[in-house]
Amino acid sequence: MSLFSKLNQIKDLRTQAKQMQNVLSQETVEVEKNGIKIKMDANQKILNLSIPDGIEKSIIESTIPNLINDGNDKVRKILAEKMRSGDISIPDFKF
């Protein structure tokens, strides 16, 4: 395989990755625990964090990592479903 065709493959991969990001940015997940809410898109970008007044610092510190992990689990499920349905695909790339 020539260098030129490898460069074209890389360009195609970048285009497909951008398309995948666009599809995933349309999907959002919300998780809540102890009154704290996190909303994130399927690219794992946190869109909103809501912490009600009066929650102790220790509860906030222990809850937020769990919420992010729970959100990421939901995102992985969305990604798997999108791949299963054919909405997104990861192409075969060989050097």
- Token digits of residue 89: 């695909």
69 within domain boundaries? yes
Strands (E), the chain: 28-33, 36-41, 46-50
Q: What pLDDT, on a 0 to 100 scale, did the predictor assign at position 89?
A: 67
74 within domain boundaries? yes
pTM of the predicted model, to two decimals? 0.73
Q: What pLDDT, on a 0 to 100 scale, did the predictor assign at position 23?
A: 81
80 within domain boundaries? yes
Question: Would you write out the chain's pLDDT as a tens digit for each of its 95 residues?
Answer: 688 888 888 888 888 888 888 888 888 999 999 999 999 998 899 999 999 999 999 999 999 999 999 999 999 998 888 888 877 766 654 44
Check if the beta carbon of residue 91 is closer than 8 Å to that of residue 14: no
* Count of the separate structural domains present in the chain: 1
Q: What pLDDT, on a 0 to 100 scale, did the predictor assign at position 94?
A: 47
- Partners of residue 37 on adjacent β-strands: 32, 50
Q: What pLDDT, on a 0 to 100 scale, did the predictor assign at position 95?
A: 41
47 within domain boundaries? yes
Report phi then psi at 82, rounded to 5: -65, -40
- Give me the torsion for CA of 20, 25, 27, 30, rounded to 10°: 140
CATH of the domain at 79: 3.30.1310.10
36 within domain boundaries? yes
16 within domain boundaries? no
21 within domain boundaries? no
Domain of residue 68, residue span? 26-85
What is the chain's percent helix, strand, coil content, to nearest 5?
55, 20, 25
1 within domain boundaries? no
